[in-house]
Amino acid sequence: MNNNSIKNGVRFIATWAWPVLGFYRGLNSYNYNYVKNKLYRHSNPFYIDKVVWGVVGTLIYLNPITFFFVLYKEVYRLEVNLRGLEDEKNTDYYNEVL
């Protein structure tokens, strides 16, 4: 394995995979909060609200100040999934971005 392939892999994760994961986590956070708290009095959630929460998730994941908090949270989620702790997936801590 040469250094170029490692650099390209890190570059791909930093520019595409990590921000997309942040967007996905933002959408999941919105969906969890909408179902749990009924954030709005409307019967259906607005797509623009989902997109905004996704963008906020992306910005949180890309922010160098919050990077290590988010990294810790991703390792926590990885452990929950590897150990099969299904009850933990329904908690606030698991579903919030930060």
d(CA 62, CA 18): 8
pLDDT digits (tens, 9 = 90+) for 7-25: 777 777 777 888 888 999 9
* Mean residue pLDDT across the chain: 83
State yes or no: pLDDT of 28 exceeds 80.
Answer: yes
**pTM (global) more than 0.85:** no
Q: Which of 34, 30, 52 is nearest to 97 (CA)?
A: 30
